[in-house]
Structure 1
Amino acid sequence: MPSATPKSLWLAYAGLVLTPLFWAGNAVLAKGVVDQIPPMSMSFWRWIIALAILLPFGLPGVLRQKAVIRQHWLSILALATFSVGAFNSLLYLAAVTTSAINIALINATIPIMVALLAWLLLGDRTRPLQALGIGLAIVGIATVVARGDLSVLTGLQAQPGDLIMVLAVSSWGLFSVLLRRQAVPLPPLTFLTVQIATGALVILPFYLVDVMFISGGFELTRTTAIPMMYFAIFPGILAYAFWNHGVHRIGPSKAAIFMYLTPVFASLLAGIFLGERLGPSHLVGGALILVGLVLATRSRKVN
């Protein structure tokens, strides 16, 4: 890890605080506008706008790396499908039937899902403390999904959006595991540009089916254009850039701690803008998830 000046460290920490704020805003705004912008339209146009912004900067690298891209196109397709293609599409779909707070709480368990899938698929050694953390976080997710009522789980009455968010987190976990196994040797900006372009192509047929046969799309107005710009710029481009810079400057273990701020910010924003309130199941489930994340993160740092 390169040496960092006080100014660059300050910028890294500021970016790592803004990143979960942008992610929380993504969940809250998606919940707020899902009645006006269908989930597939949200997902597709978010990435098209982000790609249009990135292309002038990323295209030269893409053209220089054409041979590498052709050689690794299957890996790129798999990585783009689980990240750009599936993750946010599922998150926006979840917003139809669950709360922004639930989305953020379940989304915060991404490090746990990555650790669990790395153990299952890659055979990573799991220490007892990490296994305990994974178990507590899973119980926390179940508490949030069940809304404190065990019969919700035993009777298969969970909100569809909560279960869809579990699928979204699993999708990002698969992306993270595949990224380790099938790393593509491209510069970060070039890889991000190709990843977004490929993911948008993956979303395209689902978007077209949705527009033609299900939702009919949405009308472009000021009230729909502003959210789409937010989705593209803040949780899209800036969050990726800030997160990568923070990891580069202070390391992945310290940076991962900032992910815990996402449900905190989401709770505040959802309370202010959507009138959502924390219930006992959110507090109990959130506490279990937080403890599980801390235990799992600490156990990884001593490996």
Structure 2
Amino acid sequence: MARYANRSLALAYTGLVLTPLFWAGNAVVARGVVDSIPPVSLAFWRWVIALLLLLPLALPKVRKEWSVVRDHWPRVLVLALFSVASFNTLLYLAATTTTAINIALINSTIPIMVALLAFLLLGERTRPAQAIGIAVALTGVLMVIAQGTLGRLLSLSLSPGDLVMVAAVISWGIFSVLLRRLSIPLSAMTFLTLQIALGTALLTPVYLIDLLLISGGFTLSGSTLPPLIYVAVFPGILAYAFWNHGVWNVGPARAAIFMYLVPVFAAVLAWVFLDERLGWYHLAGGALILVGLYLTTRNAPAPQTNR
């Protein structure tokens, strides 16, 4: 039993490291297609593709657990509203009216938002070491975003997109906390598939309104299909599966700290794929984030195994 718990915990932390890597790639891809794929279309079709990829594997499990699905789908619907339907849609919308640096800065407050909501809704208190870890990691994030210059932070200005990104952060915080609070006895595959299916259903009327009255959609081509497949598989299916497993095993507040890795991974990916310069502040900020992660995750409790 102890061996299983340790292995599950190791998998949880591995997944929580890969999740921000995939989401950093999501941000890079989103910036690259902002002129060719409308944000709502990008959000909608990523989940349609993800669902089509999952269904052949998931349908047997869904049928087997149908009685449980029937009893618990309203809870999953609530979770899908704040995750699949809202978070990335809001993030993509924010990217149209604000800068990437502002999005990264606001996105980095997710751990604080989750910790606050976990305390208010679940009564989870932050240990002194965790509080120090949050502060150290946040310092690292700010160093990366500010590029080592205080004036860069002070010169940031708010825009409508910033407010939309704040809404995205709140949405993800609510989802992470409710994921732990709403005990849903479904297998990981069934839960993820149901989450994506219900979230896509919620997003459909928004997509149709955008398609018919606002953006007009996009043209599927050799340049638009690959990014859609990427955001469906990596930041879509895999990242959500890893996040769900991580939150369930280590708790929402501790899992959220890994969001601090997003701007670090984004900086590295931008350096590799966009030829942007990797500065000393990326390395120093990354080191501080790793220290913060160590402080917040050491002596982690044994994982839950009843799901």
Both structures adopt the same fold (TM-score exceeding 0.5): yes
Q: Residue 185 of structure 2: SS of its match in structure 1?
A: coil
2:23 aligned partner = 23
Q: Residue 219 of structure 2: SS of its match in structure 1?
A: coil
Q: Which runs of 5+ in 2 are unaligned?
A: 302-307
Map 1:101-116 → 2, pairs under 5 A: 101-116=101-116
Read off the aligned partner of 1:252 and give its amino acid letter: V
1:39 aligned partner = 39
2:70 aligned partner = 70
Are residues 209 and 221 of structure 1, via their aligned partners in 2, closer, same or farther at CA, if it must alter by over 3 Å? same
Tell me by how many angstroms 1:196 deviates. 0.2
1:220 aligned partner = 220
2:264 aligned partner = 264
Read off the aligned partner of 2:220 and give its amino acid letter: L
Preserved CA contact (<8 Å) 2:106 2:165: yes
List per-residue Cα deviations over 1:96-150 (Å, max 9, x = no partner): 1334454345434433321111112223223455456667878998996997465
Map 1:148-297 → 2, pairs under 5 A: 148=152, 150=154, 157-241=157-241, 252=250, 259-274=259-274, 297=297
List per-residue Cα deviations over 1:228-276 (Å, max 9, x = no partner): 011101111233445567789xx63897775543221201223454566
1:88 aligned partner = 88
Read off the aligned partner of 1:124 and give its amino acid letter: E
- Tell me the percent identity: 63
Note the aligned Cα RMSD (angstroms). 4.1
Correspondence 1:120 to 2:120 = yes
Is the deviation greater in 277-286 or in 174-183? 277-286
Counterpart CA distance in 1 for 2:13 and 2:300 is 21
Read off the aligned partner of 1:122 and give its amino acid letter: L
Is the deviation greater in 108-117 or in 134-143? 134-143
Q: Residue 224 of structure 2: SS of its match in structure 1?
A: helix
Q: Which runs of 5+ in 1 are unaligned?
A: none
Give the TM-score normalised by structure 2.
Answer: 0.76
Give the TM-score normalised by structure 1.
Answer: 0.77
Preserved CA contact (<8 Å) 1:91 1:168: yes
Preserved CA contact (<8 Å) 1:117 1:173: yes
2:304 aligned partner = none
Preserved CA contact (<8 Å) 2:40 2:210: yes
Read off the aligned partner of 1:76 and give its amino acid letter: V
List per-residue Cα deviations over 1:158-181 (Å, max 9, x = no partner): 033333222212211101111122
Preserved CA contact (<8 Å) 1:100 1:270: no
Preserved CA contact (<8 Å) 2:140 2:289: yes
Residue correspondences, number: 295
